[in-house]
Amino acid sequence: MNPVIIESLDHEGRGIAHADGKVIFIEGALTGELVTYSSYRKKNNYEQAKVGQILKQSFMRVQPKCPVFGVCGGCSMQHLDARAQVAVKQRVLEDNLQRIGKVRPEVVLPPIYGQPWGYRQRARLSVRHVLKKDKTLVGFREQNGKYVADMQHCEILTPKIASLLPLLGELNEKFTARDIIPQIEVAVGEFVDVLVLRILAALSPSDEVLIREFADKHSVQFWTQTKGPETVAPFYPLDAPKLSYSLPEFGITMPFAPTEFTQVNSDMNRLMISRAMRLLAPQAGERIADFFCGLGNFTLPIARSGAQVLGVEGSDALVKRARQNAEYNGLAANTTFQMMNLFEMDEAVLAKSGRFDKWLVDPPRDGAIELMKSISDETAPGRIVYVSCNPATLARDAEVLVHVKGYKLKSAGVMNMFPQTSHVESIAVFALE
């Protein structure tokens, strides 16, 4: 098979080349490199492959820090210089805006960087006893999704949690049954590290003793989950500090439960909120809506300005948490929270909430297309700050805002919430003129 030249990287960090009339997506290859490759999936017009020999190496290539990089599915860009990773993500954002949304920002915002390693405070770890290895593996799944990566450490998890991976495997080996805990959910707060054990069968008294001993030795708190999210409950120790994160710039502390959605990177979350507030520029007396508000991550900083804020969320549990957080921070007087299915929005439903001066929109990967389509002359805010975790749906929604609703895309840029991965977090500002 003839070598190919890598022309660019796709949104998953794979090298893109062309050969024999096909597009070849090559994992582990970088722009400008001359490589051989081995295809593992072949279709009529494209192939997916892994890099073979690197005959001409990119100056942006670095030695991956993790020994299981390329096997573990947790990271896909450790072989690319950290600054270059962000440049790739910026290009992915701009390409999506142009190709899907047919829009260009008037200003490209400078990217926001965070720590490249040891940042991840939320994770869902798989647990599996492997007969052939005669041990339990705890970690992320391999790239193929079938097996758990054999990892003794993780470079993107917080250092303490990363050091516990093999120890948790050893703990599982001591249990009465090795297959009753398939998953551990990690939630790191400022004052406590929580591990939620997904349990398929009742723990024996000896299992419970082992868990308590582990918690005491390693200063973690265990929770258990026996069925759905409603069964998540603290197990030991019961007097541990509550999970929370703080936003010092706004004098806010946010308590949360271990399975409630929070950003995985608290340092970047602070930087993201700071940028969003500067772009939104909330003022006392304004009426502002925070759509997909979650537990109030943006709502409460907006409220701190003195604006009246409506937070809208589709989860009843998160609405309750947001109300509690507003009260906890003394912001109940100028915040209101409402549960609403924002994926089934229309003009009539939106109109019931009245008109707002500004919107903050922070949807999941599916985006906010129905909300954007529902904007009318009566409800159109003067400014929309849109925080996105998926550049493709941001671009799709931007097309509606710009080409149908009459907004200008004033600015857009990336925020490196997930270093070493291909995940693109971004922020965009739309305004009426």
Cite the annotated binding site for S-adenosyl-L-methionine by residue number: 263, 292, 297, 313, 341, 362
Q: Which phi-psi region, left, alpha or beta, contains residue 162 (left: φ > 0; alpha: ψ -120 to 50)?
A: alpha
Phi, psi of 403 (to 5 degrees): -90, -15
Q: Which residues contact 330 (CB under 8 A, 6 or more apart)?
A: none
Told to judge if 293 belongs to the known catalytic residues of this protein, a careful annotator would answer: no
- Which residue, 403, 365, 424, 420, is CA-closest to 64? 420
Asked whether the beta carbons of 371 and 342 are under 8 A apart, the reply is yes
Q: Which two tokens stand for residue 350?
A: 């939106």
Phi, psi of 393 (to 5 degrees): -75, -30
DSSP 308-324: EEEEEES-HHHHHHHHH
Cis peptide before 111 (omega within 30 of 0): no
User: Of 389, 394, 401, 402, which residue is the catalytic one?
Assistant: 389
Q: Which residues line the annotated binding site?
A: 66, 72, 75, 154, 263, 292, 297, 313, 341, 362
- Angstrom distance (rounded) from CA 262 to CA 118: 17
Please identify every residue annotated as catalytic.
389
